[in-house]
Amino acid sequence: MNTNRSPFFKGQGSRPYWIAGPCSAETEQQVLETAHGLKDAGIDLFRAGIWKPRTRPGDFEGNGSPALPWLQRVKEETGLSVCTEVANAQHAEEALRCGVDVLWIGARSTTNPFSVQEIADALQGVDIPVMVKNPINPDIKLWMGALERIERAGIKKVAVIHRGFSTFGKDKYRNQPRWQLAIELKRQFPDLAFICDSSHICGSREWLYDVSQKALDLNYDGIMLEVHPRPHEAWSDALQQITPDQYKEVKSKLNFRYSSTDDVDFLDSLEALRGQIDEIDDEILALLEARMKLCDGIGRFKKRNNIAILQTSRWSEILEKSIAKGQRKGLSSELISGVMKAVHQESINRQHKVMRDA
């Protein structure tokens, strides 16, 4: 995997890379009206879906190729660069022919290596930036695999788009962000550009600012938002689109965080605080070591007396007591239950080993 990527999507160093535009290119008039509304909004890329992958048949599936010249007109009239989603080789070839500046691979396509490979083959030897959305299922390897296929075709300017993961049942968000997954991916590929598609994570206008700011707090490089002149009338994703004016307002409120600084005072204070954190982490590790040694002893003891490892009532008591104590210390029940469950599982694993081996 490439570890020396182009900074194309890296938001010019001190600000995010901004992508905005309608979910779908519905009519030439709607596309141009949106683009003119965004012309002075300081965006880097205008988006519009030409081919729309809809979950159910019968929904608006995009205008297809006849809508490509509308994007050309956006370029001519506003000077904005344009991007669209491609889901197969034919889409990619037509988009290239019509001067689309940047392509993206949608979440449903990323789940299918055949589709991604077909697109990669069509782009072989072409110098066009490509963004790869996360697959609808939370699988980092599949996401990276798609990116790798694109990079192997010789594409140098790449980014990933985090648009959240499908869930069953009702949730606050349309697609769960599962930030931890993206954080792990950033840890593994620190030079990869990350764009947050807050619109598809949220599924509603309400949380767009919060989710976008959270992404910037996590040092994402860019934000993609869906914008429509009359969101309520949109032919797709009506609930999550905002007007160009609302977009400008959200954008103006968002704070970009720098990845680093050379302010010596700040760096000194940060280092001191990190030193304290490292000491506490060492203490936590020493305590975990001591706790696990005790668990090994308990395992041997239970084995001698032929007693089962899992004592449900004791485990419930530990968990409930810890959550209650944690809450009094201002620690969330999610944190305490996550930590205690991990500790308890490891304790069971160790006792199993003791019973088997000793």
Cβ(74)–Cβ(101) below 8 Å: no
Cβ(85)–Cβ(106) below 8 Å: yes
| 333-357 vs 264-304: helix crossing angle, rounded to 10 | 40
User: Least Å distance between CB 62 and ligand PEP?
Assistant: 10
Q: Residues with Cβ < 8 Å from 42, sequence gap 6 or more?
A: 18, 251
- The mark string for 12-51 relative to Mn ion (x by CB under 5 A, - otherwise) is -----------x----------------------------
User: Least Å distance between CB 288 and ligand PEP?
Assistant: 40
- The mark string for 49-88 relative to ligand PEP (x by CB under 6 A, - otherwise) is x---x-------------------------------x---
Q: How far apart are CA 301 and CA 294, in angstroms?
A: 11
Closest CA to 157 of 10, 1, 44: 10
User: Which residue, 53 or 297, is less far from ligand PEP as judged by CB?
Assistant: 53
- The mark string for 174-213 relative to ligand PEP (x by CB under 6 A, - otherwise) is --------------------------x-------------
Q: How far apart are CA 191 and CA 296, in angstroms?
A: 43
Instruction: Note whether 107 binds ligand PEP by CB under 6 A.
Output: yes
Instruction: Note whether 23 binds ligand PEP by CB under 6 A.
Output: yes
Instruction: Note whether 237 binds Mn ion by CB under 5 A.
Output: yes
User: Least Å distance between CB 98 and Mn ion?
Assistant: 21
Q: How far is CA 327 from the centre of its chain?
A: 30
- Using CA atoms, how far residue 39 sits from 19, 56, 221, 315, 319, in Å, is 12, 34, 21, 60, 55
Q: How far apart are CA 20 and CA 41, in angstroms?
A: 9
User: Least Å distance between CB 207 and ligand PEP?
Assistant: 16
User: Least Å distance between CB 329 and ligand PEP?
Assistant: 40
Cβ(6)–Cβ(157) below 8 Å: yes
Cβ(303)–Cβ(354) below 8 Å: yes
User: Which residue, 44 or 237, is less far from Mn ion as judged by CB?
Assistant: 237
The residue whose Cβ lies closest to ligand PEP is 106
- Using CA atoms, how far residue 209 sits from 8, 66, 176, 214, 244, in Å, is 24, 34, 16, 8, 14
User: Which residue, 115 or 213, is less far from ligand PEP as judged by CB?
Assistant: 115
Please pick, from the candidates 163, 228, 248, 251, the single residue that binds ligand PEP as defined by CB under 6 A: 163
Which residue intervals of 61-131 are DSSP H helices?
68-78, 89-97, 107-110, 113-123
User: Which residue, 5 or 174, is less far from Mn ion as judged by CB?
Assistant: 174
Piece of 105-113, 147-155, 254-262, 307-315 that binds ligand PEP (CB under 6 A): 105-113
User: Least Å distance between CB 260 and ligand PEP?
Assistant: 31
User: Least Å distance between CB 200 and Mn ion?
Assistant: 6
Cβ(133)–Cβ(80) below 8 Å: no
User: Which residue, 23 or 132, is less far from Mn ion as judged by CB?
Assistant: 23
Please pick, from the candidates 91, 133, 174, 228, the single residue that binds ligand PEP as defined by CB under 6 A: 133
Binding footprint of Mn ion on the chain (CB under 5 A): 23, 237
Binding footprint of ligand PEP on the chain (CB under 6 A): 23, 49, 53, 85, 106-108, 133, 163, 200
